Structures are given as structure tokens and as C-alpha cells.
């Protein structure tokens, strides 16, 4: 058995987790800094870095305690080294290297996108590649073919805003606060998704995505209709995003012969997206894995899981390896 301590500090969550053999989650602790950033309407990098420094020791300690283990029983220490905010990444990577050095265990650097792909494999430990994965977060919208562990190809990506970014920007415009995704999700529950027929950007145009025009369409609609019901606007916007994401996901799966589709990333916590993925997959005889909410948003269990596979494939990461804020997946 190989026990991995994973650390995630790429954005505004300070997280640590203990996972055995890449499949069994012993603990997963996430300290969200959302409250610290809320009044600025988005993540402030300097505040994020400082908060990570303050939280990291306690979060790691808590992950070990909740797992009923200690550092001596940990076989490898992993951290996300990119993509993300440079100052934030450095905190987690430095902590992981220090712990690895102090315990004479291997250090493993993990790609944040790759970690999101592994959420589905923690949700369903029997799951095996090949898989088609939709990674939708605040910074990224990627359609990724996972051919095998560590072997991915990006099939589609956003040409402008990420899906989560669109949720956050529309929420800010509607005065719903930050983070915007959960706020829109809640409000949309009592709105009519067909109230406003927003366009579905690039729906029949290749495998890439575009969301900035949709955001502009929402702004234009609300300015032209100041009395529009905000719940209807939120539900209609959400329906347009979900429609494009799921249509492309299942279309590519069928075209490329993938029998299983999975989702990951913060936007995969969206209730409409989750329901639609399950529905469309069932209708087409595809298997769909929709990870629990806590596995979709940033967490360290997915980091520890991805690290286990990386370690088996590539061995430890040298301790002089740094961080890469714009690290690509493949």
C-alpha cells in the first residue's frame, strides 16, 4: 500500500488530503478563503498567498489526524505545481518539499488539470480509462480524452472565457456576489430556463467553446429589459452554458467512441449540469460519472490520487523543480 499526502494551494482553497493507492480517500480537508476575497469580487493573489501561509500547517495536520495517520506512515508527499497563482502555488509546493525532505520520502509535482480528471476515479474506484472528461472551472474549460493514466489529449477548449469565469462575471453583473457559480445555481432553481432564448455559442462549430459573447448577451438583455426577473435570467444563462457543454461532451464521446464520460472542476458542482450529463448519457447508452460536490471543487484528494499514478509512471519529482503558473495539461 502506498499512502500519499496531497496538498493543493493553486487558487483560494488551502487543502490537504491522505489517499491510499490512488483510490481510497482517508481524509480530505479544505479551508476555503472565499470569505476573504468576497468583498473584492474575485481572488486577490497577495491575500491568497498570505492566507495559504497561515493555514497550510494546520490543514496538513488536520488531514493527518482525520486519516488516523502521521507523517511517518506517509509514503509520498504531493503538491500542485501549476497552473494557478504563482505565489499561491509556491506555498503548497514548498510545504510538500519540506515535508518530503524531512521524512525522506519522494516529492511528486501534480498538474492541477490532471488532478481534476482524477476526481471521477475517486468517486468510482472501479473506473478505468479510456474516458472523455469535461473539466470546467474558474480558469479553464477543457474537453480531455484520457486514453490512459498520464496520457491525455485536449479535444476542445474555450477560445475566450472559462465557463466558471462566465458564471462569476454574470453573477457579479446581476449583483449576486462572489463566487458566482453557486449563487447562480441557487437562484436559477426558481427561474424559468426557457424565459430568455440566449444563443448557444459555437454549438455546431467544432469542439471548442466560447462564453464571453453569452456574458455580453446577458448584460444586453438586462439593460434592454430592466424589469426582467433575475431568476429567469440566471436560469436561462445557466441553461445556455449547460446546453453547449453537454451537447459537445456527448457528441465527441459518440464520435470518438468513448463509452464513459466524466466531469470535474468547480462548475461540475452545478446542479443543472450534473442532471443534464446523467440524462444525456443515459439516453445514449453512455456511462456517466458525476463526482460528489466536494470532489469537483478544488480539493487535495484528487491531487493525492493523481500523484499516485504519476509516481508509478514517472517516479519522484526532483526537489529543484519549481512552479509553473501556466502549466498546460498536454
Binding residues for ligand KG4, rule: CB under 6 A, are 11, 137-139, 164, 167-168, 179-182, 185, 265-267, 269-270, 297-298
**Whose Cβ is closer to ligand KG4: residue 214's or residue 269's?**
269
Give the nearest distance from C-beta 175 to ligand KG4 in angstroms.
15
Estimate the share of the chain in helix, then strand, then coil, as percent rounded to the nearest 5: 45, 20, 35
Give the nearest distance from C-beta 104 to ligand KG4 in angstroms.
32
Report the greatest alpha carbon distance in the chain: 63
Give the nearest distance from C-beta 304 to ligand KG4 in angstroms.
16
**Whose Cβ is closer to ligand KG4: residue 137's or residue 236's?**
137
Q: Does 165 bind Zn ion (CB under 5 A)?
A: no
Give the nearest distance from C-beta 254 to ligand KG4 in angstroms.
25
**Whose Cβ is closer to ligand KG4: residue 64's or residue 217's?**
217
291 binds, among Zn ion, ligand KG4, none (CB under 5 to 8 A by kind): none
Note whether 64 and 103 are within 8 A (CB). no
**Whose Cβ is closer to ligand KG4: residue 92's or residue 106's?**
92
**Whose Cβ is closer to ligand KG4: residue 8's or residue 20's?**
8
Q: Does 9 bind Zn ion (CB under 5 A)?
A: no
Instruction: Tell me how far apart the alpha carbons of residues 249 and 95 are, in angstroms, rounded to a whole number.
Output: 37
Q: If DSSP codes are grouped into helix, strand and coil, which group holds residue 267?
A: helix
- The x, y and z cell numbers of residue 260, run together, are 464513459
Residues between 121 and 160 that touch Zn ion (CB under 5 A): 137
Give the nearest distance from C-beta 83 to Zn ion in angstroms.
9
Q: Does 298 bind Zn ion (CB under 5 A)?
A: yes
How many residues form the binding site for Zn ion (CB under 5 A)? 2
Q: If DSSP codes are grouped into helix, strand and coil, which group holds residue 58?
A: helix
Per DSSP bridges, beta strands 24-32 and 13-20 are: antiparallel
Helix (H) or strand (E) holding 163: helix 163-173
**Whose Cβ is closer to ligand KG4: residue 250's or residue 273's?**
273
Instruction: Tell me how far apart the alpha carbons of residues 302 and 296 are, in angstroms, rounded to a whole number.
Output: 9
Give the nearest distance from C-beta 144 to Zn ion in angstroms.
13
Closest CA to 17 of 63, 70, 51: 63
DSSP assignment of 91-125, as one string? HHHHHHHHHHHHHT--EEEEEHHHHHHHHHHHHST
Which residues of this protein are in contact with Zn ion, per CB under 5 A? 137, 298
Amino acid at each position: 500500500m502506498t499512502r500519499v499526502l496531497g496538498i493543493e494551494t493553486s487558487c483560494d482553497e488551502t487543502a490537504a488530503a491522505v489517499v491510499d493507492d490512488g483510490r481510497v480517500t482517508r481524509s480530505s480537508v479544505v479551508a476555503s478563503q472565499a470569505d476573504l476575497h468576497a468583498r473584492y469580487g474575485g481572488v486577490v493573489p497577495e491575500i491568497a498567498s498570505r492566507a495559504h501561509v497561515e493555514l497550510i500547517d494546520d490543514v496538513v495536520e488536520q488531514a493527518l489526524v482525520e486519516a488516523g495517520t502521521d507523517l511517518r506512515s506517509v509514503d509520498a508527499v504531493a503538491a500542485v505545481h501549476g497552473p494557478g497563482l504563482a505565489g499561491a502555488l509556491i506555498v503548497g509546493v514548498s510545504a510538500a518539499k519540506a515535508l518530503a525532505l524531512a521524512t525522506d520520502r519522494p516529492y511528486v509535482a501534480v498538474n492541477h488539470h490532471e488532478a481534476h480528471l482524477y476526481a471521477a476515479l475517486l468517486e468510482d474506484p472501479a473506473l478505468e480509462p479510456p474516458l472523455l472528461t469535461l473539466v470546467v472551472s474558474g480558469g479553464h474549460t477543457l474537453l480531455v480524452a484520457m486514453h490512459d493514466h498520464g496520457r491525455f489529449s485536449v479535444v476542445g477548449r474555450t477560445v475566450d472565457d472559462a465557463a466558471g469565469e462566465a458564471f462569476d462575471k454574470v453573477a457579479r453583473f446581476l449583483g449576486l456576489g462572489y463566487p458566482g457559480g453557486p449563487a447562480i445555481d441557487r437562484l436559477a432553481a426558481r427561474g424559468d430556463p426557457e424565459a430568455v432564448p440566449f444563443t448557444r455559442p459555437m454549438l455546431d462549430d467544432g469542439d471548442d467553446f466560447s462564453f464571453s459573447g453569452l456574458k455580453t448577451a446577458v448584460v444586453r438583455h438586462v439593460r434592454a429589459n430592466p424589469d426582467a426577473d433575475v431568476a429567469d435570467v440566471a436560469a436561462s444563462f445557466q441553461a445556455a452554458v449547460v446546453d453547449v457543454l453537454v451537447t459537445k461532451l456527448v457528441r465527441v464521446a459518440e464520435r470518438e467512441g468513448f463509452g464513459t464520460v466524466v466531469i470535474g472542476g468547480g462548475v461540475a458542482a452545478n446542479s443543472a449540469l450534473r442532471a443534464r450529463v446523467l440524462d444525456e448519457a443515459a439516453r445514449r447508452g453512455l456511462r456517466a460519472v458525476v463526482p460528489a460536490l466536494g470532489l469537483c471543487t478544488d480539493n487535495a484528494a484528487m491531487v493525492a490520487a493523481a500523484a499516485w499514478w504519476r509516481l508509478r509512471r514517472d517516479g519522484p519529482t526532483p526537489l529543484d523543480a519549481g512552479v509553473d503558473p501556466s502549466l498546460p495539461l498536454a
